[in-house]
Amino acid sequence: MIKLFKYIAIIEGLSFIVILAVTMPLKYMMDMPMPNKVAGMLHGVLFIAYVYGVFIVKDKLKWDRRSVIIALVASVIPFGTFYVDRKMLP
């Protein structure tokens, strides 16, 4: 389960960066909203999977409240899930 969570964290982080760096500029600068809708839906599903995964992995890794909060806050900060992958997961 931890290995699956690592993959979800990386993919969720990448989807967030794609939204910020690619699809948002397309939407607002080129008037192309469809890529943002598609990437946004994918990112939403990955975000929910990541948050769910935090609560499953916390029991397996015996995370304290502080670690859970860091992992959850990392999901809304660009590159935050990469920090969780590198520093908090075995």
Interval 11-66: pLDDT, tens = 999 999 999 999 999 999 999 999 999 999 999 999 999 999 999 999 999 999 99
Tell me how many domains the chain contains. Answer: 1
How far is 16 from 38, CA to CA, in rounded Å? 12
The predicted model scores a pTM of: 0.94
Tokens of 56: 């499953």
Look at residue 31 in the predicted model and tell me its pLDDT.
98
Range of the domain at 47: 2-88
> What average pLDDT does this structure show over 3-10?
97
Look at residue 18 in the predicted model and tell me its pLDDT.
98
Tokens of 25: 């500029």
